[in-house]
Amino acid sequence: MASVAELSPVTLAALIALVRKHTGIAMNERKSVLLERRLRPRMAALALGSYQAYMERVESDRSEVPHFIDLVTTNDTQFFRTPHIWEYLAKRFLPEWQRSHPDQCLNIWSAASASGEELYSAAMLCEEFQLLHGPLRYRILATDISQQMLALATAGQYGGRSVERLRASHPALYARYFVANTAGARVRDELKRNVTFCRHNLLQPLRPAQQFDLILLRNVLIYFDAEHQQTVLDCARPSMKPHARLILGESESIQRLASDYSYDAPMIYSLRAGQP
Ligand SMILES: C[S@@+](CC[C@H](N)C(=O)[O-])C[C@H]1O[C@@H](n2cnc3c(N)ncnc32)[C@H](O)[C@@H]1O
């Protein structure tokens, strides 16, 4: 393997700009160790001896861009992350939605789904709701910019802490919706039958245009600066049905942005009255 040169301040700045260009993610100089650690194995695999050469590859070879995106995105997630929100969805959102939309199909968008724990949590939520309250038609669109994450989400195969945490916190759901195997556990096909997977960059409008009753936009805005947060919100707005709820992550707030969303409760937003 060619030895890799150090990441100089000038090269680091160019790399940070390249990350922003392809993902919208805003990094600063403190991310240099993270970038080095993530990019070096890929550079070695491609026998590229400098970051400059790797950046040129990303810019000149479109097939390298998805690998680059996989490497620079952070994909931490877990089943039923932020339990308080899932309580709200089970006890408030779904009963109210079903009362006011009898016989309609509930459309959910898991908008930065990572490896899929969030979208399968939503599917389990809907399946459990049906057991208690009768039929509920639902569809889930799962999108992420990382094709590697989408592949993991589509496979629905989980191991390690992800499954252990779920088995400890929700043993009945684990037993009902997962099949144990040597690698951990796989979600049952019934959890996948209402799910569509699609690669999507949140800085662009969703195509084809679709509207949702619930958008889970959790733990992704934190990676963007205010300008790109605003772009993400502007792009998501046409995807909100008039009564829809937008759910953010625990450390995210959009109240300071000039947005069309109004604050309902921590992490929960809806369209401002009068917005189409
Ligand atoms: C920390 S995970 C959040 C996963 C899940 N929503 C949750 O809250 O547990 C952030 C995800 O955002 C995705 N992401 C980053 N930039 C994106 C962009 N511009 N468009 C779409 N997804 C993006 C990453 O690939 C990553 O999977």
Residues 108 and 217 in one domain: yes
Indicate the pLDDT class of residue 12, thresholds 50, 70 and 90.
Answer: very high
2 lies in a domain?
no
E strand or H helix at 193: none
What's 187's DSSP letter? E
Tens of pLDDT, residues 58-106:
999 999 999 999 999 999 999 999 999 999 999 999 999 999 999 899 9
E strand or H helix at 216: strand 212-216
Number of neighbours of residue 149 by Cβ within 10 angstroms: 23
Residues 59 and 140 in one domain: no
- If one residue of 145, 154, 222, 251 were mutated to test the ligand 1 pocket, choosing by the most ligand atoms within 8 A of its CB, it would be 145
Residues 182 and 106 in one domain: yes
Residues 167 and 210 in one domain: yes
SS (H, E, C) 58-93: HHHCHHHHHHHHHHHCCCCCCCCCCHHHHHHHHHHH
The pLDDT, as a whole number, for residue 274 is 63
What predicted TM-score, i.e. pTM, was given to this entire model? 0.96
Residues 165 and 33 in one domain: no
Q: Whose CA is nearest to atom 9 of ligand 1?
A: 77
CA angle 203, 142, 166 (to 5 degrees): 125
Residue 2 Cα to ligand 1 middle (Å): 32
Indicate the pLDDT class of residue 131, thresholds 50, 70 and 90.
Answer: very high
Beta strands in 128-209 (DSSP E): 137-144, 157-158, 178-181, 184-187, 195-199
125 lies in a domain?
yes
58 lies in a domain?
yes
pLDDT, average across residues 199-219: 97
State the Cα–Cα distance between residues 40 and 43, nearest whole angstrom. Answer: 5
Residue 269 predicted with pLDDT over 80 = yes
State the Cα–Cα distance between residues 157 and 192, nearest whole angstrom. Answer: 12
Residue 219 Cα to ligand 1 middle (Å): 7
> How many structural domains does the chain have?
2
Residue 218 Cα to ligand 1 middle (Å): 8
Phi, psi (degrees; rounded to nearest 5) at 116: 105, -5
Residues 65 and 92 in one domain: no
CATH code assigned at 155: 3.40.50.150
Domain boundary among 24, 43, 72: 72
Residues 42 and 110 in one domain: no
Residues 42 and 91 in one domain: no
Determine which of 54-58, 70-74, 250-254 has the lowest per-residue pLDDT on average.
250-254
Contacts of 58 (CB under 8 A, 6+ apart): 18, 22, 64, 65, 68
Residues 267 and 133 in one domain: yes
Range of the domain at 50: 9-72
CATH code assigned at 28: 1.10.155.10
Confirm or reject: Cβ of 118 under 6 Å from ligand 1.
Answer: yes
For the record, the structure tokens of 127 come out as 């399946």
- If one residue of 68, 73, 216, 251 were mutated to test the ligand 1 pocket, choosing by the most ligand atoms within 8 A of its CB, it would be 73
- Report the nearest atom of ligand 1 relative to the CA of 202: 20
Residues 165 and 88 in one domain: yes
